[in-house]
């Protein structure tokens, strides 16, 4: 909650606000998000306008998740833009009439602005859809699940039995050699 009381109501008055807050729960998606209680740095500007208080600025935090390919832990610095108009309760009706009908106007309650919904929207939009530990992460071996980044030359000499049957059909000498050896 942001207290806008000190700002006053004269249109044009402005206040900068820098604050570190604890992240609320569910700040992210299923694959990556800012953990609850982690530091969120707010760098905001509060501006009194006719209809209410315009809050704009950035929120910065560190999201954690798993690489979508190799499942390694991933940390992503999130810097999200926030902008939200909080209408004075007695002006909220007017703001709703003039604005987009689908858009719900946030209201100030006792000079307090609930920034959480807009923070959540801004942060979620700023998160990667599929987080990766590095853009060219090779992922895991489909055969044994090893991390291919640790061992790029990694192969398995497992030959599909149907494939070896084909090989023997096309290369009879090879088969006879193997038969002799075994």
What are the residues binding Zn ion (CB under 5 A)? 67, 69-70, 72, 133, 137, 141, 143-144, 146
- Which residue lies nearer to Zn ion by CB, 43 or 72? 72
Residue 61: phi, psi to the nearest 5? -160, 175
Least separation in angstroms between residue 33's CB and Zn ion is: 18
Q: Do 41 and 59 form a contact (C-beta atoms < 8 A)?
A: yes
Least separation in angstroms between residue 74's CB and Zn ion is: 7
- Which residue lies nearer to Zn ion by CB, 83 or 130? 130
- Which residue lies nearer to Zn ion by CB, 67 or 76? 67
What is the torsional sign of CA 105, 108, 113, 114?
negative
Q: Residue 134, Cα to own-chain centre: how many angstroms?
A: 15
Q: Do 66 and 133 form a contact (C-beta atoms < 8 A)?
A: no
- Which residue lies nearer to Zn ion by CB, 77 or 97? 77
Least separation in angstroms between residue 129's CB and Zn ion is: 15
Q: How many helices (H) and strands (E) does the chain have?
A: 4, 9
């Amino acid at each position: 909650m942001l207290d806008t009381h000190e700002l006053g109501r004269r249109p044009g008055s402005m206040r900068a606000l820098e604050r570190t807050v604890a992240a609320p729960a569910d700040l992210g998606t299923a694959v990556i998000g800012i953990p609850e209680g982690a530091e969120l740095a707010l760098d905001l500007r509060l501006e009194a306008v006719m209809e209410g208080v315009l809050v704009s600025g950035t929120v910065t935090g560190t999201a954690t998740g798993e690489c979508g390919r190799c499942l390694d832990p991933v940390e992503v610095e999130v810097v999200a833009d926030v902008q939200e108009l909080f209408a004075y309760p007695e002006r909220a009706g007017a703001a709703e009439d003039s604005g987009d009908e689908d858009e719900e106007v946030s209201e100030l309650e006792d000079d307090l602005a609930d920034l959480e919904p807009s923070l959540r929207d801004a942060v979620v939009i700023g998160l990667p859809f599929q987080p990766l530990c590095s853009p060219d992460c090779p992922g895991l071996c489909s055969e044994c699940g090893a991390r291919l980044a640790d061992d790029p030359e990694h192969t398995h000499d497992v030959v599909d039995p149907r494939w070896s049957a084909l090989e023997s059909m096309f290369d009879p000498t090879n088969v006879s050699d193997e038969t002799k050896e075994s």
